Amino acid sequence: MSERFPLRDLPLLATHVALWRNEGFCVAIDDFSAGYAGLATLAAIRPDVVKLDRSLVSGVMRDRWQRELVSAMVAAVEPLGVTVIAEGIGHAEDLPALVAMGVRFGQGFVLGRPQARPASAPFPRP
């Protein structure tokens, strides 16, 4: 799911998501906390994965508000079995802060540059 498109009928989307899950699909919300990817979407579709938007992640070590928001989001979704991925980790000092907040997965230039081939290990299903 992407933050770019309004979700006009969340109950209908939730029905489709349930069908996809029955077929073995894993459901993710990309850029969570940006655009239309907010709490109502989270509650309606109950994703397996949320990718925190880079606007919350980048510079998290230097901004108390960002730290508190990321911590709150992790604390809210992890008990529900949702995997959190921090997107856009661009500063080395942000990585230990994110780990301390409970973020176990991430992407960004600090972790590696984009590559033509995917990593050899597949994404683990939550």
**Looking at the domain assignment, is residue 50 inside a domain?**
yes
The verdict on pTM exceeding 0.85 is: no
φ, ψ (nearest 5 deg) of residue 86: -90, 120
**Looking at the domain assignment, is residue 125 inside a domain?**
no
**Looking at the domain assignment, is residue 101 inside a domain?**
yes
Q: For residue 75, what are the domain limits?
A: 10-107
**Looking at the domain assignment, is residue 115 inside a domain?**
no
**Looking at the domain assignment, is residue 43 inside a domain?**
yes
> Any idea what the CATH number is for the domain that residue 89 is in?
3.20.20.450
**Looking at the domain assignment, is residue 45 inside a domain?**
yes
In this structure, how many other beta carbons lie within 10 angstroms of the beta carbon of residue 54? 17
Weakest-pLDDT range from 14-23, 31-40, 65-74: 31-40
Across the chain, mean pLDDT equals 83
Token readout for 120 is: 């050899």
Number of domains observed in the structure of the chain: 1
Per-residue pLDDT of 28-57, as tens digits, reads 888 777 665 577 778 888 899 999 988 889
**Looking at the domain assignment, is residue 122 inside a domain?**
no
- Rounded to whole angstroms, how far apart are CA atoms 48 and 83? 6
**Looking at the domain assignment, is residue 102 inside a domain?**
yes
